[in-house]
Amino acid sequence: MAPQEIASLKDVWTDYDGVTALEGVTLSLYEHDFLGIIGPNGGGKTTLIKVMLGLVKPSRGQVTVLGDAPEKQRKLIGYIPQYSLFDRDFPVSVLDVALMGRLGRARRFRKYSDADEETTLGALETVGMLDLKDSQIGKLSGGQQQRVFLARALVTEPKLLLLDEPMASVDVSLQTGLYELLEKLTEKMAIVMVSHDIGAISVHVNKIACLNRKLFYHNSKEIRAEELEATYKCPVQLIAHGVPHRVLKKHK
């Protein structure tokens, strides 16, 4: 049986005040994919995530998630933004933060249901944070907080998980465990992760794309040296350190 297509972008262009952010992006994402997107700052990575969420409308092209417009499928999309801003002194527990992901399913002015709490406790267990469910979120480490935010995204029971620089606030010593958790989650969903860490994501993802307004993508985790140079506008030796075995140089 052919894998299910989770998301599709066809010749997508976006513009901000007349400046092109994405240029002719075409991408197909399938169940169990773990796609890492790399590229320079300002290259359109966050814009691409927002397009897939339905928060940014393309000026041209077509976007679908599970066969429909992304805004109509948002309940099936989990999302962790690049920065999660909150008052660290506010007395909100880990369980309360994770439960917020169920707000879209709860009836207005009604308490969370038993099913909401059961699903949330399961998500906290999945990310290894169940024992700290009563702890104050602001007292946790950056890595622990990111696991809680991941649980909040998982309680929607998504088919697509979008992560914008999820390791930015996580200590290097804790990143491997989080990457391994994401790998395991691909058994149930497709994942798209934006990152600057070429070396780390090349180990853990199964597909890589380079984005600098234009998308360089071959439905695999192979990166061509000339594509990296075109994306980052600098010699590949400066940016491919740690993944030379996955950088394909053009044969003469």
Mean pLDDT comparison of 82-91, 151-160, 242-251, highest-scoring range: 151-160
pLDDT in tens, 94-120: 999 999 998 865 555 467 888 999 999
Q: Does domain 5-84+158-248 have CATH number 3.40.50.300?
A: yes
List strand residue ranges (DSSP E) for the chain, in order.
Answer: 5-16, 19-30, 34-38, 60-65, 77-80, 160-164, 190-194, 207-212, 214-217, 223-224, 247-248
pLDDT in tens, 133-147: 999 998 998 888 889
- Label each residue of 14-51 as H, E or C: EEECCEEEEEEEEEEEECCCEEEEECCCCCCHHHHHHH
Q: Which two tokens stand for residue 19?
A: 């400046």
Chain centre distance of CA 194? 6
Higher-scoring residue by pLDDT: 81, 185: 185
Specify the range with the lowest mean pLDDT, choosing from 73-82, 190-199, 221-230.
Answer: 221-230
Q: Quick check: 238 pLDDT over 50?
A: no
pTM to 2 decimal places: 0.85
Q: How many residues does the chain have?
A: 252
Proportion of the chain above pLDDT 90, given as a percent: 52
**Residue spans per domain, the chain:** 5-84+158-248
pLDDT, averaged across the chain: 85
pLDDT in tens, 65-85: 999 999 999 999 999 987 665
